[in-house]
Amino acid sequence: MLAKMDQKFGCENCEFRKMSSLYVDGDSFDEFRQQSVKLSFAKGETIFKQGSKSGGLLFLHEGIVKFCYQYDSGNNYIMTIVRGPKLLGGANLFFKSVNIFSITAMEDSQVCMLDSSAFMKLAVGNPAYLLALVENTMDMFQNAIFNFISLAHNHVNGRIATILLYLHKNVYNRSGFSFTVSRKEIAEFAACSHENVINTLSRFRKEGIIEFHGKEIEILNFELLEEISRKG
């Protein structure tokens, strides 16, 4: 991990602090945060590595990250992609002493590593707080499950259409977005070949569904893309 370590993070405008303040008092939270550090990760850097000792909780202040799982065969699969602010890594608190997947920065990202032992100490007397944080992390796993369902029932066209819509609605949130996901990453997200991705995106462009502007991609026809996603 080549992350740059910063000072103890400031919490004045932190979304994690705002959420926590609904359940714990300021003094208790400040004691907890003293055991946490803010880190900067450059695009492409690994934040958590699959199989390594669990890093506990991670709060993504800014940036975009991908959750990856590598099979024994060496094939890499992207489970989901998320944008900050977002609480990540909650599954490791309860299920595994090692990371069950890798988290990699897709853009320059600012994160806080939250000490899991300190968090559990804080949460013991605040079950509502613990429940709220678990619920906060569950939607990314829900998105991963929905992606698996799409893979099981859709052909390549449907998979890629679903991924483009997901990126627009959940990551970039606008019709024209910087195409920070490479063709290779789309292939890993859609569980198909690199050639299939190139051919499908070219077909979508010829049919007037999307357009490229340098490294950006713009969705021109949401209705048709949603129809392809539904029908596969």
Q: What is the DSSP letter of 3?
A: P
Using one digit for the tens of pLDDT, what is the confidence trace for 111-131?
998 887 788 788 777 888 888
Q: Quote the strand ranges of the chain, DSSP E.
A: 4-5, 37-41, 46-48, 57-62, 64-70, 76-83, 86-88, 102-105, 109-114, 176-178, 210-213, 216-219
Please tell me the distance from the alpha carbon of residue 63 to that of residue 17, in angstroms, as a whole number. Answer: 18
Q: What number is the average pLDDT over the span 17-31?
A: 86
Task: For each of the domains in the chain, give its residue range(s) and CATH number, in order of start.
Answer: 4-144 (2.60.120.10), 154-231 (1.10.10.10)
Identify the residue with better confidence: 169 or 142.
Answer: 169
Q: Tell me, what's the pLDDT at 203? A: 96
Please tell me the distance from the alpha carbon of residue 127 to that of residue 134, in angstroms, as a whole number. Answer: 11
pLDDT at 4 over 60: no
What percent of the chain lies above the pLDDT cut of 70? 87
Q: What number is the average pLDDT over the span 30-53?
A: 87
Q: What number is the average pLDDT over the span 49-62?
A: 81
Please tell me the distance from the alpha carbon of residue 61 to that of residue 87, in angstroms, as a whole number. Answer: 9
Ranges 38-42, 179-183, 208-212: which has the least confidence: 179-183
State the pTM of this model: 0.84
> 191 phi and psi, to 5 degrees?
55, 50
Please tell me the distance from the alpha carbon of residue 191 to that of residue 189, in angstroms, as a whole number. Answer: 6
Q: What strands, in cross-sheet order, belong to the sheet with 210-213?
A: 176-178, 216-219, 210-213
